[in-house]
């Protein structure tokens, strides 16, 4: 009994391998060795763009630390050359299917990396390696460990011989995920596939199309000369020599400002190649390659958006979503353990609340920011008039939202810093704030303004608040004396 899983039409021949040519199509393993991958990257501009553009764009704006020690952390990143190292590893990982950054410390590379043991300046260097240098070990098969499905260790050849490296000491970068990690062997075992493996057919087709179009330039004009009885006389060697000499001289004499001399019975005409629609054809193949990696045409080809009233905004938004996914799903998890070590290497400890945010890929214009700000203020005003939230709660909501949308990107961190210095502002009396000012810890005037804006002293000026608070303190003291 034969069972067919698919669409088959006896009348139209669909699915019939004898009548439908597409029925015989199947997918085969597309094998590319490392030399082919490197040759494609170094000699083909399409392959290089497919590899470089997503890596460069996802890291171009980098990230912003939100911490009291953000300056020290950023200086540590600069000392280690972190941004350049991540870019290099990302590009090589996409090209070869795997790369890593080795975290150099004074500890043994075979031992797991414990961030709590990292002191200030504990990270000595960062080294980029590819899967050609790092050999992945046996895959972890215990599902109760965090390294399930990942290599238990990596080895590298050095002057000291084979060196074993624990996975926690590597920041790993990959290309496209393997279809099945357990059945893939060879050089890709424990790694991933090159991005070029899935796009190489499109790249080759585009390259072949461009080469054929380029060859047409040399055949743009073909001279055709009709010679009477030429085929009959070619049997004579003497005639052939005379014919070749004849047209060699004619070709030499012919030019833009020269005359072509022909026999009376000879006829001359020029056949010209047609280049109509060839630019569109070449562009279509280039877009085909760009689409294979979700890169918009405006970025891949450096052209303006096509079509009537087209802005390319939708394509860029989709592209930015892809890059943000790379940042949060690839770079973030890969660098999580390293970042804990980085902060300790910069500061000496890991202060509570230390975090970072990826800088927005899209930079809004002043007009866009003004429009967002106006709409946001109107919405916050309407929310405040509903009297659902208190003044201090509205302040927190407004601060968070203004920071989140990028209108005032540093506002929340600045306010958090003031709160950190003052502790619980509501728990400080104005006298304590003034005392803190005298000790140089805080600007008491700014703190009073904060309390007023938070709605604690509605309708009062700074001087009125100070006066009323002093009077309240005296009254409380009198009550306390009377109770005694």
Enclosing H/E stretch for 412: helix 411-422
What does each C-alpha distance from 285 to 110, 281, 307 come to in angstroms?
Answer: 48, 7, 18
Q: Residue 178 carries which DSSP code?
A: P
Which residue is associated with the tokens 């171009």? 60
* Confidence label for 23 from pLDDT (cuts 50, 70 and 90): low
Whether the Cβ atoms of residue 198 and residue 176 lie closer than 8 Å to each other? yes
The predicted pLDDT at position 482 comes to 44
114-134 pLDDT, tens per residue?
A: 999 999 999 999 999 999 999
Whether the Cβ atoms of residue 24 and residue 15 lie closer than 8 Å to each other? no
Q: Residue 239 above 80 pLDDT?
A: yes
Task: Assign 108 to helix, strand or coil.
Answer: coil
Q: What is the dihedral of CA 196, 201, 202, 205, to 10 degrees?
A: 130
- Structure tokens given for 340: 């804990």
- Structure tokens given for 411: 């506002």
* Confidence label for 478 from pLDDT (cuts 50, 70 and 90): very low
Which residue is associated with the tokens 């046996």? 138
Residue 141, judged by CB atoms within 10 A of its CB (0-12, 13-18, 19+), counts as exposed
Cα gap 439→45, rounded to integer Å = 63
Cα gap 342→83, rounded to integer Å = 13
45-69 pLDDT, tens per residue?
A: 999 999 999 999 999 999 999 888 9
Cα dihedral 386, 389, 391, 394 sign: negative
Whether the Cβ atoms of residue 214 and residue 278 lie closer than 8 Å to each other? no
135-150 pLDDT, tens per residue?
A: 999 998 888 888 888 9
Q: What are the φ and ψ backbone dihedral angles of 333, each rounded to 5 degrees?
A: -60, -35
Q: Residue 360 carries which DSSP code?
A: P
Closest CA to 96 of 131, 144, 46, 122: 131
248-271 pLDDT, tens per residue?
A: 877 777 765 566 666 777 777 777
Q: Residue 153 above 70 pLDDT?
A: yes
pTM over 0.85: no
Over residues 288-305, mean pLDDT: 84
Over residues 310-330, mean pLDDT: 84
Task: Assign 100 to helix, strand or coil.
Answer: strand
- Structure tokens given for 209: 């199309």
Q: Residue 323 above 50 pLDDT?
A: yes
Cα gap 459→140, rounded to integer Å = 66
Check residues 358 and 251 and name the one with the higher pLDDT.
358
Q: Beta 63-66 vs 355-358: how paired, if at all? A: antiparallel
Task: Residue 319: count other Cβ atoms within 10 Å of its Cβ.
Answer: 22
Cα gap 284→159, rounded to integer Å = 51
Task: List Cβ neighbours of 356 (8 Å cut-off, separation of 6 or more).
Answer: 63, 64, 65, 66, 339
């Amino acid at each position: 009994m034969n069972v067919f899983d698919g669409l088959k039409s006896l009348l139209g021949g669909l699915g019939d391998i004898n009548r439908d040519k597409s029925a015989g199509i199947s997918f085969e393993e597309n094998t590319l060795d490392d030399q082919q991958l490197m040759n494609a990257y170094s000699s083909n501009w399409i392959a290089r763009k497919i590899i470089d553009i997503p890596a460069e764009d996802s890291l171009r704006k980098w990230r912003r630390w939100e911490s009291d020690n953000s300056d020290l952390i950023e200086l540590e990143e600069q000392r280690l050359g972190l941004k350049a190292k991540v870019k290099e590893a990302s590009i090589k990982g996409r090209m070869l299917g795997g790369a890593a950054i080795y975290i150099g410390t004074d500890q043994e590379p075979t031992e797991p990396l414990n961030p709590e043991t990292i002191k200030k300046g504990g990270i000595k260097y960062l080294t980029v390696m590819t899967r050609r240098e790092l050999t992945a070990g046996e895959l972890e098969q215990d599902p109760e460990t965090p390294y399930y499905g990942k290599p238990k260790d990596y080895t590298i050849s050095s002057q000291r011989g084979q060196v074993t490296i624990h996975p926690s000491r590597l920041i790993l970068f990959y290309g496209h995920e393997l279809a099945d990690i357990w059945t893939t062997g060879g050089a890709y075992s424990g790694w991933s596939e090159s991005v070029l493996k899935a796009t190489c057919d499109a790249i080759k087709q585009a390259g072949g199309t461009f080469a054929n179009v380029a060859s047409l330039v040399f055949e743009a004009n073909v001279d055709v000369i009709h010679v009477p009885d030429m085929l009959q006389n070619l049997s004579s060697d003497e005639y052939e020599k005379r014919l070749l000499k004849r047209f060699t001289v004619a070709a030499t004499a012919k030019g833009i400002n020269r005359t072509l001399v022909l026999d009376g019975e000879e006829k001359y005409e020029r056949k010209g190649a047609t280049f109509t629609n060839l630019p569109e054809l070449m562009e279509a193949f280039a877009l085909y390659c760009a689409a294979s990696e979700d890169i918009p045409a405006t970025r891949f080809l450096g052209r303006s958006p096509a079509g009537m009233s087209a802005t390319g905004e939708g394509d860029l938004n989709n592209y930015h979503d892809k890059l943000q996914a790379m940042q949060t799903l690839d770079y973030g998890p890969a660098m999580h353990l390293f970042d804990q070590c980085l902060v300790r290497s910069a500061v000496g400890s890991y202060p509570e609340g230390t975090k970072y945010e990826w800088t927005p890929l899209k930079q809004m214009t002043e007009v866009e920011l003004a429009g967002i700000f106006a709409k946001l203020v109107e919405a916050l005003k309407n929310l405040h008039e509903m009297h659902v939230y208190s003044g201090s709660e509205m302040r927190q909501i407004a601060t968070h939202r203004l920071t989140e949308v990028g209108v005032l990107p540093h506002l929340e961190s600045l306010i958090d810093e003031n709160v950190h210095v003052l502790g619980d502002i509501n728990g400080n009396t104005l006298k304590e704030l003034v005392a803190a000012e005298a000790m140089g810890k805080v600007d008491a005037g700014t703190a009073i303004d904060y309390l007023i804006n938070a709605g604690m002293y509605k309708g009062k000026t700074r001087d009125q608040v100070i006066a009323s608070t002093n009077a309240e303190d005296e009254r409380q003291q009198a009550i306390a004396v009377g109770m005694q």
